[in-house]
Amino acid sequence: MNLPLKYPRDMSALVLDGRCVSDQILAELRPRVSALTKVGRAPGLAIVLVGNNPASHIYVRSKIKASEELGVRSFHHMPSEAITTAEMLSLIDQLNDDREVDGILVQMPLPKHLDTERILTHVDPSKDADGFHPLNVGNLVANRRAPRACTPAGILQMLNRYDIPLAGKRAVVVGRSDIVGKPMALMLLHANATVTICHSKTADLAGECRRGDILVAALGRPAFLDENFIKDGAIVIDVGINRLTDTAAVERLYGHDEERLAAFRKTGKTIVGDVQPRAMMERARAYTPVPGGVGPLTIAMLLSNTVTLAEQHLAS
């Protein structure tokens, strides 16, 4: 079931509902999980969380909750922040060897004293639920079947399910991270878009962004992209998750949204993406809100990767 994209020019921009798309993906996974449970066992996802980063704990709780609701077993490992790289590698070895575990997720960021690259590459590529292992990144480059990085894979699902055409379109990705920017550019390229990757050293960043029929913002700077960066009628995908506590900044960004302002006054904080919300509303044909846009898709694709890996393990 697709979500047909309609954007009449006499109406406001279409809000791309990440929660709705996520619900569709999870609904499609349920019979697959049920089938696996009947013929063998439910898929298993191991989540490793090191330290006491409050945001990481929130993310992990959301992932565990979504797993349990889908029928995916979650194995939660929470070692002390004092754990060494060698001890982390030993834990990863145990999970690699555990036949009950189909997917492994190491929650980022890790404490600075740990060798993040060494730990992530120690995960068995056939259990790489995040799609971060270099072997799976190489498979993405070659457009071969393999786990895909969850956030960009979720974005592609959203674009496809809203019937947003990609072939022949000019896509601009702002940000070159290994988690979002680079894999997003590759996935759009495989969908036959013409892709430009921009970053902090790009000359005339605003001008490059304005060329994009599709603009993906993943630079990690709150509300950095304003109306000068958005082509009229573009599709804007805002990946940013930035916490704001400054009253003046929040009032400047959300002066048009009394509900958001009221919530901010109550809690003293709000979440903003990398694109100014009013600029998206006024210039884009369709856009993802923050929150409620890209975020829910990341967890859905994590579970999708885990179920697919479980099916492959059962068949092997």
Residue boundaries of the structural domains of the chain: 41-127, 149-296
Write out pLDDT tens, residues 142-173. Answer: 999 999 999 999 999 999 999 999 999 999 99
Cis peptide before 125 (omega within 30 of 0): no
- Other C-beta atoms closer than 10 Å to the C-beta of 201 total 7
Annotated catalytic residue 130 = yes
Q: How far apart are alpha carbons 192 and 172 in whole angstroms?
A: 13
Mean pLDDT of all residues belonging to the chain: 93
Q: Choose the catalytic residue: 63, 127, 169, 231.
A: 63
Write out pLDDT tens, residues 50-75. Answer: 988 887 888 899 999 999 999 999 99
> Above 60 in pLDDT, residue 200?
yes
Q: Choose the catalytic residue: 102, 128, 130, 213.
A: 130
What are the tokens at 171?
């896509």
Write out pLDDT tens, residues 113-122. Answer: 999 999 999 9
Comparing 4 with 195, which gets the higher pLDDT? 195
Write out pLDDT tens, residues 70-93. Answer: 999 999 999 999 999 999 999 999
Contact 268, 244 (CB under 8 A): no
Residues with Cβ < 8 Å from 232, sequence gap 6 or more?
283
Q: Is 53 helix (H, G, I), strand (E, B) or coil?
A: coil
The one-letter code for the residue type at 217 is: A
Dihedrals phi, psi of 82, to nearest 5 degrees:
-85, 0
Contact 7, 35 (CB under 8 A): no
For residue 1, the model assigns a pLDDT of 46
Write out pLDDT tens, residues 202-233. Answer: 999 999 999 999 999 999 999 999 999 999 99
Q: What pTM value is reported for the model?
A: 0.93
- CATH among 3.40.50.300, 3.40.30.10, 3.40.50.1820, 3.40.50.10860 for 41-127: 3.40.50.10860
> Above 50 in pLDDT, residue 236?
yes
Return the CATH number of the domain spanning residue range 149-296.
3.40.50.720
Annotated catalytic residue 63 = yes
Q: How far apart are alpha carbons 309 and 125 in whole angstroms?
A: 10
Annotated catalytic residue 274 = no
Q: Choose the catalytic residue: 107, 127, 182, 238.
A: 107
* Torsion angle (degrees, nearest 10) of CA 83, 84, 89, 93: -40
